[in-house]
Structure 1
Amino acid sequence: MKSIAGADPDLDDCVDAPASLREQVYNDLRYRLITGRIVPGVGISTRGLAQEMGVSQMPVRDALSRIAAEGAVEIRSKRAVMVPRMTTARFEEIMRLRTVLEPMVASAALPHITSETLRQIRAADDATDAALAGGDARAYMDSNHRFHSLIYGAAPLPLALRMIESLWMQFGPFMRVVYGRYGTANLVDQHREAIAAIVAGDAGALGAAIAADIGDCADLMQDWERLKL
C-alpha cells in the first residue's frame, strides 16, 4: 500500500507489516539484549537497528516499547533509548529471582528432555567450553544462553519461561560488559554437573547445578563498585 500524501511512511510500513514481522523484530531485539549485543548506558539508534534488520523504524520502535515495559530498556524520548545502568539493588533482585525460578524450571523440564534435546545441550556445552578456552565473550554469551534455553524450554511452564527471558534481557547487557573487561578465564563451568544430572534423571541435582551456575555469576558482584556500570 502506498503512503497517503502527508502521512508518515513509517506508520504505513508498521500497519502493513504482518504480525510475524513485528514479532521477529521483537524477538531479535530480545536476543540482542540477552546475549549482550546491546550494552548499558549507550544510546540505541532505532534508525541503525532498522537498517541492520532491513525494516522500517516503526516495528523497531514498537518492539522497544514492549521491551521497555519489561524493564530492559528506558525510553527517555523519541530519540533517547538505552539500556539502564545497573544498580546494586537491581542486580541483587535479578539474581534472587533467577535463583528461585531457574532451578525450579530446570527440574520441571527434566522429564521432558529427549535424547535429541540432550544431544543439543551437549553441543551447546561444547561450544561454551570452546568459547571459554578461546576467551571469546560473545560466543560464550551465545552458547551459554542456548544451553540454558534448551533445558528450560523443555519445561511446560510458559509463564515462568517468559519471566526468565525477561530477567536475562536485563542481566545480559551488564554481564557482557563484565566478561568483556575481565575475560572468561576465571568463569566456572557448571554445565557438566547439569548434564550429569540430566543423564542420571536426578531433578534435584539438576536444580542444584543450575543454582550453582547462577551463584558463580553472582560472585562477579564483588567487583561492582569498580565497574560502575
Structure 2
Amino acid sequence: MQASDTQGGAAGAVPPVEARSEGEKQGAGQGAGLPAHEVVYRTLRARVLYGQFEPGQAVTIQGLVAELGAGMTPVREALRRLMAEGALEFQGNRRISVPLLGAAEIEQLLVARRALEPELARRACARIAVEGIAAMERIDGALDDAIRRGHVHDYLVENHKFHARLNAAAEAPILSGLVEGLWLRFGPSLRVVCGAFGTRNLPDMHKDLIIALKTGDAEGAARAMQGDLEQGMEMILRAL
C-alpha cells in the first residue's frame, strides 16, 4: 500500500504559515522570543528536513518572503545558513533548491553515518535513563501509528524525533551536531522513498535498538543502529 500525505498535499508543496505542521512548529520553537531570522531559519529547516521541499524543486526568495510573511533580510539570512549547511543550493535568478542526491553522494553519506550513529547509540546506551527509553518507546508507537495510517509527514517527523532523542541521550554534542547536518542532506530524499514504496514497506530496527538500551547492550544498540541506517540509505538509493 502506497502512503499518501493527507496533511501536506503533494510532495514539495509549501503549506501556508498558518497551516504549519507539528514538525515545523517544533522546529520553529513556536517563535516565542526568537528573532525573525531564527524563526524563518527553523521553519525552513523543518520543511527541508521533512521533505516539504522536494529534491530539485526550485523556490524563489521572493516567493518565500510572501509565503512566510517575513522580511527579505530574515529570509536571506536563513537561506544563507541552510546553504552553508548543504541543505539548499543556489540556482541563480534568486532561485533556491534542495540538492539532488546521486549514488556518489549517498555512498558518502552512508560512510559518514556508519562512523557516527552507531557510536552515538553506544554512548546513549551507557547514559540514557529509564524515562528516556520510555519516551523513545512512545515516539516509536506514534511512528507505528503513522505507518498504519499511511501518513508520510507524521512518519518522517516521528522517525527523526526517535533518532534525535537517542542522539541527545549520548551527551556528545559534537557528534550529534554532525549527524544533524547529515540528516538535513538526506532527509528530503526520505519523502521520495515514502512516495515510491509507501510507509508500510519501510523497515526499521527501532525495537531491536530499544531492547538493547533496556538491557544495557551497547554493542547490540550499535548493531541495530547500523542496520537501521543501512536499510534506510539502501531504500533511498533504490528510489532515486
- The residue number in structure 1 matching 2:144 is 129
Q: Any unmatched runs of 5+ in structure 1?
A: 1-17
Q: Which amino acid aligns with 1:131?
A: A
Deviations 1:117-141 (A, max 9, x none): 2222111100111122222221111
CA distance in 2, matches of 1:103, 1:21: 36
Higher-Rg member (1/2): 1
Q: Percent identity?
A: 36
State whether structure 2 residue 96 is matched by structure 1 residue 81. yes
Give the paired residue count. 208
Shift of 1:204: 0.9
Report which stretch shifted further, 125-134 or 24-33: 24-33
Check the 8 A contact 1:70/1:166 in 2, yes or no: yes
Shift of 1:35: 1.6
- Of 162, 174, 177 in structure 2, the residue corresponding to residue 162 of structure 1 is 177
SS in 2 for 1:167: helix
State whether structure 2 residue 130 is matched by structure 1 residue 115. yes
Check the 8 A contact 1:193/1:209 in 2, yes or no: yes
- The residue number in structure 2 matching 1:150 is 165
Cα gap change, 1:171 to 1:193, in 2 (>3 Å):
same
- Of 19, 22, 43 in structure 2, the residue corresponding to residue 28 of structure 1 is 43
Shift of 1:221: 4.7
Shift of 1:19: 6.5
Q: Which amino acid aligns with 1:43?
A: A
Report which stretch shifted further, 25-34 or 81-90: 25-34
TM-score when normalising by structure 2: 0.80
TM-score when normalising by structure 1: 0.83
Q: Any unmatched runs of 5+ in structure 2?
A: 1-32
SS in 1 for 2:59: coil
CA distance in 2, matches of 1:46, 1:120: 38
Cα gap change, 1:78 to 1:105, in 2 (>3 Å):
farther
SS in 2 for 1:185: helix
Match runs of 1:39-58 below 5 Å: 39-58=54-73
CA distance in 2, matches of 1:57, 1:116: 43
- The residue number in structure 1 matching 2:16 is none
Deviations 1:99-156 (A, max 9, x none): 1111111211223322222222111100111122222221111100000000001222
CA distance in 2, matches of 1:112, 1:51: 45
- Of 106, 109, 116 in structure 2, the residue corresponding to residue 94 of structure 1 is 109
